[in-house]
A = this chain, B = another copy of it.
Amino acid sequence: MLFQEVAEKVSAETGIRTFASQAERLLASFLHTDDFWVASGWAHVPVPVASALVRRFQEEGYLEINNQDRIVLTEKGRQAVEGLVADQWLSFRCPVCNGRTVDISSVPHWWKQFSEIARERPEPVQEYDQAYVTPETTVARVLFLDERGDLRGRRILVMGAEDDLTGLAIAMTGLPREVLILDIDERLIEFDRRWIEKLGLKHVRAEVFDLRNSFPEEWLGHFDVFITDPPETPLAFKAFIGRGIRALRGPGSVGYFGLTLQDSSLERWQTLQRYLLDEWSTVITDIIQDFNEYVPWPYHGQTRAMRLAPVSQPPSADTIWYRSAWYRIVLLESGKGTNEPFSEKVLKELYLDEVSSTT
């Protein structure tokens, strides 16, 4: 069986467990796109796996890469996947909420104001693993929190990734009891502070903070909700989420974060889910695939993902190819999490390992 064999070879080659159904899905995606990056995102496989699969399919004559760097199925490839995906690309995904479950058009005035502000945000830098989500994503996050009872009257901690402007958007609602926004990037904190002042927002602070350091005593056990977008290497995930957990008030408090299948594998998700359940005694209440859409970042040409890819062009600047699932967790026990400074080992593997490649 073709796909089984290809999947086994790619598993061995990349060290990342790959399944026949994933190989099949990646090949099938070229019925609808000729863009390597878009296909890898749609198939929900890590970039190193997508790269190895495409090379293998090319060798076996299922697809070709033309001189415009486009991927085209051969007749043999087409026959192998015909009928395996819907005729229309992503045809059943809800066109109104884009599969996010919440409808941002229900807050037209706020949404308009926020997207205007977002147009002025600082550009992402590789040094901090930055890549921001679309303004639609940020607004949907805030509405999602509200739906779940995690916004109004809550103490909310936003841990990094403020290039998404999630903290600012939350503060703009005026609904939480308290918002603390932390980011290592001074430009973002300056940006937030300027808007906080301009809009006269209350109960919100924005502070330059390096999350590799320990939190001061007054943040520990203080928050009802944390939000973060952690790196996806296991050690870094553990360090980030562990710190967030330690900042929560106790049982019933909540955490939110994004997790991809493009810098993580299914096996890695299992490892991270075990941390969530066993290490911190949280329970997972929501996983919404493809909730977070990232605007292609300008430094993609310098990433390991680019070096691995079977194509020579980075993703197009105007096409979303990278997405993450939106997780919500609830803490069930006291005294969990950690406030240690990050160890040398964590720092070494903060963003990159065999699965994570896009930073």
A-to-B contact residues, CB < 8 Å: 7, 17, 19-22, 24-25, 28, 83-86, 90-97, 99-103, 106-107, 143-144, 146-147, 149, 152-153, 175, 224, 251-252, 254, 266-267, 269-270, 273-274, 277-278, 281-289, 325, 330, 332
Contacts and interface: CB of A to CB of B under 8 A. Distances in A.
B270 A85 contact: no
Contacts of A252: 7, 19-22
Contacts of A289: 101, 285-286
B106 A17 contact: no
Nearest to A272: B283
B152 A84 contact: yes
22 contacts: A7-B252, A19-B251, A21-B224, A24-B149, A86-B152, A90-B147, A92-B106, A93-B101, A94-B102, A99-B102, A101-B289, A266-B285, A267-B332, A269-B283, A269-B284, A273-B284, A274-B277, A274-B278, A284-B287, A285-B287, A286-B287, A288-B288
Number of copies of chain A assembled together: 2
Contact of A83 (B101, B144, B153): B153
Contacts of A24: 149
B106 A100 contact: no
Contacts of A175: 83
Contacts of A20: 252
A288 B101 contact: yes
Contacts of A95: 96, 103
Given A19-B251, A106-B92, A270 B266 contact: no
A99 B99 contact: no
A20, A22, A101: residue with the most chain B Cβ atoms closer than 10 Å: A101
Nearest to A152: B84
A17 B85 contact: no
A86 B175 CA distance: 10
B277 A149 contact: no
Contacts of A143: 92
Q: Which 8 A-B pairs have the closest CB atoms?
A: A19-B252, A94-B97, A270-B283, A92-B143, A96-B96, A99-B101, A94-B103, A92-B102
Nearest to A3: B252
Given A103-B92, A152-B83, A252-B22, A266 B330 contact: yes
Contacts of A93: 101-103, 147
A277 to B, nearest CB: 6
A277 B287 contact: no
Contacts of A147: 90, 92-93
Given A90-B147, A94-B97, A252-B19, A85 B152 contact: yes
A155 to B, nearest CB: 12
B283 A267 contact: yes
Contacts of A102: 92-94, 99
Nearest to A4: B252
A177 to B, nearest CB: 11
Given A97-B97, A97-B99, A284-B287, 12 more contacts: A19-B251, A21-B149, A21-B252, A24-B149, A84-B152, A97-B101, A101-B101, A266-B285, A269-B284, A270-B282, A284-B284, A286-B287
A277 B285 contact: no
A149 B92 contact: no
A30 B325 CA distance: 32
Contacts of A25: 149
